[in-house]
């Protein structure tokens, strides 16, 4: 019956409008991980091309703003979605988004201080950490883009980022040792300690994000 068919079609459209879409949250995680990679690449680029520092400050500000908008969208969807995706409850979703956003915030902190502290040129150890950061962020990005199909046994991302984080720790320890062997202006030491701290935290946040995802997947297996 034409009338009945039209009614059923309309009812299905209404039901679909209330049905949760798992891809919605996963896509937002993907977008945040893309921003994390963009942030890491921005830091790495300015380490290699320090004359572009002010451009990097502007770029990381844009990246942070875009990431904040994505986090706001995550919050908005959590407030309007009745059922969350399989494996992820509301708290898990928000925590993953926060961890991803932390990466960008820490990167902005590092780049901003390169400018605020009037750094003349980057230190080689910071260049090393920036390159490790790009690798960690890229691995995390791959993890986020494959999130929907992850299984409890899929721990390659965790292992890879853990290895990179350990490598960054080695570089960071060497960097701090070298700083305290420096016999010039003590402000030089303080400036770089703070910058190193932000970069280290950004890498640590990559590890925290991938560990959180693993925990959620295993918990709900």
Q: What is the pLDDT of residue 1?
A: 53
Does pTM top 0.75 for this prediction?
yes
Q: Does some domain include residue 146?
A: yes
The pLDDT tens digits of the residues spanning 72-125 come to 999 988 888 755 555 677 888 899 999 999 999 999 999 999 999 999 999 999
Domain count along the chain: 1
In a domain, 190, yes or no: yes
**15/60: higher pLDDT:** 60
- Distance of alpha carbon 23 from its chain centroid, rounded? 19
Answer whether residue 8 is part of any domain.
Answer: no
What is the average per-residue pLDDT within 187-195? 95
Report DSSP state, residue 87: T
Non-local CB neighbours of 60 within 8 Å, separated by 6+ positions: 39, 42, 43, 104, 107, 108, 111, 112
Q: Are 151 and 217 in contact, with CB atoms under 8 Å apart?
A: yes
What digits encode the pLDDT tens for the residues 122-180?
Answer: 999 999 999 999 999 999 999 999 987 888 777 889 999 999 999 999 999 999 999 99
Question: CATH no. for residue 183?
Answer: 1.20.58.220
12 within some domain: no
Determine, yes or no, domain membership for 73: yes
| pLDDT for 86 | 56
Q: Is residue 80 part of a domain?
A: yes
Residue 65 structural domain = 21-219
DSSP at 120: S
Average pLDDT, the chain: 87
User: 101 and 34 in contact (C-beta within 8 Å)?
Assistant: no
pLDDT score at 196: 97
Model confidence at 60, in pLDDT bands (50, 70, 90)? very high
Domain presence at residue 10: no
What integer pLDDT is reported at residue 140 of this predicted model? 97
Whether residue 55 is contained in a domain is answered as yes
> For position 114, what pLDDT does the model report?
97
22 has pLDDT over 60: no
């Amino acid at each position: 019956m034409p009338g009945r068919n039209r009614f059923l079609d309309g009812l299905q459209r209404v039901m679909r409008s209330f049905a949760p879409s798992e891809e919605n949250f996963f896509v937002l995680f993907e977008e945040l991980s893309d921003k994390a990679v963009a942030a890491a690449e921005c830091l790495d680029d300015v380490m290699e091309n320090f004359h572009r520092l002010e451009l990097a400050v502007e770029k990381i500000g844009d990246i942070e703003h875009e990431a904040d908008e994505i986090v706001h969208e995550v919050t908005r969807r959590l407030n309007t979605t009745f059922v969350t995706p399989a494996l992820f409850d509301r708290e898990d979703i928000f925590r993953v988004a926060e961890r991803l956003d932390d990466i960008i915030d820490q990167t902005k902190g590092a780049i901003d201080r390169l400018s605020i502290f009037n750094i003349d040129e980057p230190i080689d150890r910071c260049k090393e950490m920036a390159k490790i950061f790009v690798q960690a962020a890229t691995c995390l990005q791959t993890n986020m883009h494959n999130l929907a199909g992850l299984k409890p046994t899929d721990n390659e991302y965790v292992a890879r980022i853990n290895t990179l984080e350990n490598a960054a720790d080695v570089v960071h320890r060497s960097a701090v040792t070298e700083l305290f062997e420096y016999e010039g202006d003590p402000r030089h030491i303080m400036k770089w300690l703070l910058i190193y701290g932000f970069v280290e935290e950004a890498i640590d946040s990559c590890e925290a994000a991938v560990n959180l995802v693993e925990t959620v997947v295993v918990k709900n297996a």
